[in-house]
Amino acid sequence: MDQSSEEKIMEIVNNSYSKVAKKLLTDTSNCCEPSVSCCSPEVEGSTVQELSIISVNNIPTLGCNTNLIEVAKISTGEKVLDLGSGPGKDTFAASILVGEKGSVIGVDFSDDMLTLANKYRDDNKITNVEFRKGNLTELPVENNSIDVIITNCVINLVPDKTKVFEEAFRVLKSGGRLIDSDISIINPLKADLINNEQLYCACIGGAVTEDDYVRNMKEVGFENIEVRRQYTTSFTIGEEAVPYASSYFIAFKP
Ligand SMILES: C[S@@+](CC[C@H](N)C(=O)[O-])C[C@H]1O[C@@H](n2cnc3c(N)ncnc32)[C@H](O)[C@@H]1O
């Protein structure tokens, strides 16, 4: 894909999620419109739901899996980065686990998502979270500064995934880990569905297979990569049912 097509897709994705954020800012009912985001089936008993901080439970998620924080095994004092933080549910859950000695940075490129996330942060008086505006292909984060990167249903939305993995690798400390919850396609998409805006913003049009995902991570230097499939389902567009999976990709910087 050439650079102008990539920029066009990122603008469409930004507009789509800005609309979701504006709706959430004005609407008190939780969650999003499934047609334009990656809302997932509810998973019972996730660590986030069990956390006694009610404020985090009330923050909507647009992610594909709801137990990311449990899988990430975040410890006190760690420095966490949430890529495509959206409303910030995982960011805030991580902030509880790292405690006062740790900190969490959320990065998102949508001004409206940042407004929403900052509102939740301020309303809940959370002091160890900072949201930064930025594109995942050019992270506003220093080299070798992060212990754990978390990301929930975002990398599929970025056309240049290699660049995102290169940036993740750059900012992680040696020994640091990437815990990526994301959608992957089961079969390559048919030509007429590639770059379909609705499918792209629904987190499927830009998704790759699990094998391609892992190959991409390896190519930039990640090691000990593990894939944990969570569920397989399909998305119906017109007459077409597009099968896809939701998985965790866990990878380490040597
Ligand atoms: C499906 S939502 C997930 C939000 C959040 N991770 C969650 O689980 O609730 C995707 C988020 O990624 C952001 N995003 C998509 N592409 C991005 C990019 N290239 N750079 C930065 N943020 C991006 C969108 O603005 C949106 O907030």
Q: 237: CA distance to ligand 1 center in Å?
A: 22
**The token pair that represents 32 in the structure block:** 């999003």
CB contact at 8 A, 100 and 78: no
Q: 10 in ligand 1 pocket by Cβ < 6 Å?
A: yes
Q: 159 in ligand 1 pocket by Cβ < 6 Å?
A: no
**Number of C-alpha atoms within 13 angstroms, CB side, residue 67?**
17
Q: Which residues pair with 240 in a beta bridge?
A: 237
CA distances from 139 to 82, 115, 117, 136, 172 (A): 11, 19, 18, 5, 12
Least confident of 31-40, 54-63, 145-154: 31-40
Handedness of CA 133, 66, 42, 54 (dihedral sign): negative
Q: Which residues pair with 149 in a beta bridge?
A: 81, 178
Q: Which atom of ligand 1 is nearest to the CA of 113?
A: 27
3-252 placed in CATH 3.90.550.10: no
User: pLDDT of 118-166, one tens digit each?
Assistant: 999 998 889 999 999 999 999 999 999 999 999 999 999 999 999 999 9
User: pLDDT of 88-122, one tens digit each?
Assistant: 999 999 999 999 999 999 999 999 999 999 999 99
Give the residue carrying structure tokens 């009912």: 29
State residue 38's pLDDT score. Answer: 54
Q: Which atom of ligand 1 is nearest to the CA of 82?
A: 6
End-to-end CA distance of the chain: 30
Q: 47 in ligand 1 pocket by Cβ < 6 Å?
A: no
Q: 112 in ligand 1 pocket by Cβ < 6 Å?
A: no
CB contact at 8 A, 198 and 35: yes
pTM: 0.92
